[in-house]
Homo-oligomer: A and B are copies of this chain.
Amino acid sequence: MLSLPSEVTIKEVGPRDGLQNEPAEILTEDKIAWIDLLSEAGYSYLEFSSFVHPKWIPQLKDAKEVAQRIKRNKDVTYAALVPNMKGLEAALATDVDEVSIFMSASDAHNRKNINKSIEETYPVLEEVVREAKSAGKSVRGYVSTVFGCPYEGDVPIQQVIDVSKRLLDMGIDELSLGDTIGVANPKQVWETLGRLEAELSFQHLAMHFHNTRGMALANILASLQRGITTFDASLGGLGGCPYAKGASGNVATDDLVHMLHQMGISTGIDEKKLEQAGTFIQEKLDKPLPSHHMQLTRNERR
């Protein structure tokens, strides 16, 4: 039997993971208009920005203004990425619904990304989780480089288990496992999830695939068969891969929603509104978005 769930939650990360990998600068008012379009498309979750120092990610320097000016849809959880206490304080000041913390399963990537070893990262995140929880916010924890590292290559599953366990012990509400450089294959996904489920106990587990090698939808199919029902995605396949210039970014929300709906799996997302939101941001970026759906949309308009 091809065992599949009847319902899936898609967490839109385009405004954060997508835009942070786009060289183009998008006007704050355009971002806000875009997030407002997304808010009406049927998502239950939007990661709208990141409270990191603008030196690191200038594309998201307007996180505060975006947070304050978007129209909050009560059916949507609005989340923002925070790297440390300073980021958390800025995020809390804007009354986000949820904060996301992040670290890597490989030490080399963690050092390049956060400028700390894995061991040095734990106390920083522990404080962030504690303070976020005491402010009444839920917390999502990202683990990067779960299926491979641009610097170390293969990442032993035990490291993924260790980092995941530490984050779960901090009290995070959801863990999101990231294939940061898009190297995972369906067999590896199947086996990794088997190991993790055997050794850890999850409240909520999400998968975060990049489509660098075109395997993202196949990896999602393997995850669905393992019972995973939450996936991160970026509309239109917005964003790229910082480790392979010009390569595909996150799995495209529109292509994922299409596949799920075709298989009779509901997402709550309106494909027509999704397309309108995709066309909007494509025009603002002034470049063709890489998803298959956006390709087809452009061709129909020729």
Residues of A that sit less than 8 Å from B by CB: 2, 4, 183, 185-188, 190, 211-215, 217-218, 220-222, 225, 244-248, 252, 255, 258-259, 262-264, 291-293, 295-296, 298-300, 302
Nearest CB in chain B: distance from A242 CB, A: 12
User: Which 9 pairs between the two chains have the least Cβ-Cβ distance?
Assistant: A214-B292, A185-B262, A187-B263, A217-B218, A2-B190, A218-B218, A246-B299, A214-B255, A218-B221
Distance of A292 Cα from B220 Cα, bound (Å): 17
A247 contacts B292, C-beta separation under 8 Å: yes
Distance of A296 Cα from B298 Cα, bound (Å): 24
Distance of A214 Cα from B2 Cα, bound (Å): 20
Distance of A215 Cα from B257 Cα, bound (Å): 12
A2 contacts B263, C-beta separation under 8 Å: no
Please give the count of copies of this chain that the complex contains: 2
B217 contacts A248, C-beta separation under 8 Å: no
Which residues of B sit under 8 angstroms from A259, Cβ to Cβ? 185-186, 213-215, 218
Nearest CB in chain B: distance from A125 CB, A: 31
Which of A218, A262, A298 gathers most chain B CB within 10 Å? A218
Distance of A248 Cα from B218 Cα, bound (Å): 17
User: Which residue in B218, B247, B248, B299 is a CB contact (below 8 Å) of A247?
Assistant: B299
Which residues of B sit under 8 angstroms from A263, Cβ to Cβ? 185-188
Which of A185, A222, A245 gathers most chain B CB within 10 Å? A185
Which residues of B sit under 8 angstroms from A185, Cβ to Cβ? 259, 262-263
